[in-house]
Amino acid sequence: MIVVTDGMEHEMNYGAVLSAAKAMKSAYGDRLCIYPVLVGNDPHGKALLQKVADAGGCGFMTTADAIASPADMADFVRKVFLSGLRDSDGDGVYDKFDQCPGTPRGVKVDAKGCPLDTDGDGVYDIRDKCPRTPKGVKVDADGCPLDTDGDGIFDYLDRCPGTPRSAMVDQFGCWNLDPIQFETNKSGITRQYVHVVNEAASVMRQNPSLKMVIQGHTDSRGTPGHNAGLSKRRALAVMNALVKKGIERSRLSTEAYGATRPIASNLTPEGMAQNRRVELVPQR
């Protein structure tokens, strides 16, 4: 707002003028700047108009004499109408309204001049390495969901948090060791299951606090007593194999279930083969 006046005290109520300026500033906020122009050289009027400009916060006071020449008027117009409309970072939002000055060239911004954050995770799209993160999911500085146990599965998708370091997990973030199957009435580990022992030993070496429960099972053939002993020997065979790999025996325990916990039918050869097994159960 430009106010042109001679500021003569006998023609106006100074207190009312200043109060009106403050009221307008309160009503319009940053949308209002006041530019008083003093005609003449009344010292009291000059003091009042300076207070009016100060009340506006973003304007300034000048005199008619100071803007009398074409060059001075052009400078006045530039300062009043154009200086506040600069867009220094070229994002399409004028500096006076830009809440994120210095936005890199070419970056899309919102109405406040800030880079877009399409997924609303608090990380601007230009730095977001994981766009389209679901709403409400906690992210790191790169805008990616957290993966606390470092298994490659984001926490919000991880059904098995706290996976031991270096363990290979499935798509749900779970470490599932394959069962070790055995030949009928035998407790020796065959060559095809040595990789399971190696995997378990490797993960345990890298996680010194990790313990393992070794559960032995049989198919339904044989007496309960015989199967209990056989399942125990199978569990001990796996325990001894892990000890040979450098795992402390104190971190290992065995359980023998005989034929009491089948995972398949004992009516077929295939089902019985699945039941003749040892399962490795990690314990944190």
Q: How far apart are CA 249 and CA 247, in angstroms?
A: 6
Q: Which long-range contacts (CB under 8 A, 24 or more apart) does 197-200 make?
A: 197/238, 197/241, 197/242, 197/245, 198/245, 199/168, 200/242, 200/280
Q: Could you tell me which CATH number the domain at 180-283 has?
A: 3.30.1330.60
- Chain position carrying tokens 């954050």: 117
Q: How far apart are CA 102 and CA 90, in angstroms?
A: 9
Question: What's at 20, amino acid-wise?
Answer: A
Q: Above pLDDT 70, what percent of the chain?
A: 99
What's residue 60's pLDDT?
87
Model-level pTM?
A: 0.60
Is residue 116 scored above 70 in pLDDT?
yes
What's residue 284's pLDDT?
83
CA distances from 211 to 161, 214, 236, 251 (A): 17, 10, 15, 5
Angle, in degrees to the nearest 10, between helices 194-206 and 224-244: 60
CB 94 within 8 A of CB 87: yes
141-179 pLDDT, tens per residue? 999 999 999 999 999 999 999 999 999 999 999 999 999
What's residue 9's pLDDT?
81
Mean pLDDT of the chain: 93
226-263 pLDDT, tens per residue? 999 999 999 999 999 999 999 999 999 999 999 999 99
